[in-house]
């Protein structure tokens, strides 16, 4: 799977490559700005780092009335950060970054 971590006005910040069967993550950063990188100073994120990143890119699992929020977005997946991030493009309040899911391979 390939995910582009973008900033407003379509600026590519980080390309993220995820190999789920082998639980491997690799990245290519396209900026020197640490705060605009998907994993900050971490150049070799683990699958756990990636999973935490996805959770940060969607509403929290402790959100009040989570089931209603999921239904409002047409999601019947329970709390699944990957599905939520895909549906909402990883957009969160007060942040101008978002995700573009390019390649669904290696799921």
Identify the domain containing residue 90 by its residue range.
Answer: 2-103
Q: Round to whole Å and give the CA distance between 98 and 4.
A: 8
Please say if the pLDDT value at position 106 is more than 50. Answer: no
Q: Evaluate if residue 7 carries a pLDDT over 90.
A: yes
Q: What is the pLDDT of residues 16-45, one digit of tens each?
A: 999 999 999 999 999 999 999 999 999 999
Distance (Å, whole) CA 27 – CA 18: 9
Mean pLDDT of the chain: 91
- Structure token pair of residue 40: 């900050």
pLDDT for the residue numbered 107:
43
Residue 104 has a pLDDT of: 63
Q: Which residues pair with 26 in a beta bridge?
A: 17
Token pair in block for residue 92: 């969160």
| pLDDT class of 6 with cuts at 50, 70, 90 | very high
Quote the number of domains for the chain.
Answer: 1
């Amino acid at each position: 799977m390939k995910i582009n971590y973008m900033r407003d006005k379509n600026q590519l910040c980080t390309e993220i490559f995820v190999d789920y069967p082998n639980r491997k993550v690799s990245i290519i950063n396209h900026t020197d700005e640490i705060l605009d990188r998907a994993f900050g100073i971490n150049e070799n994120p683990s699958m756990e780092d990636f999973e935490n990143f996805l959770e940060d890119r969607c509403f929290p699992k402790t959100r009040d009335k989570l089931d209603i929020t999921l239904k409002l977005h047409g999601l019947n997946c329970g709390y699944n950060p990957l599905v939520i991030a895909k549906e909402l493009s990883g957009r969160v309040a007060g942040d101008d970054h978002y995700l573009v899911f390019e390649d669904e391979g290696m799921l």
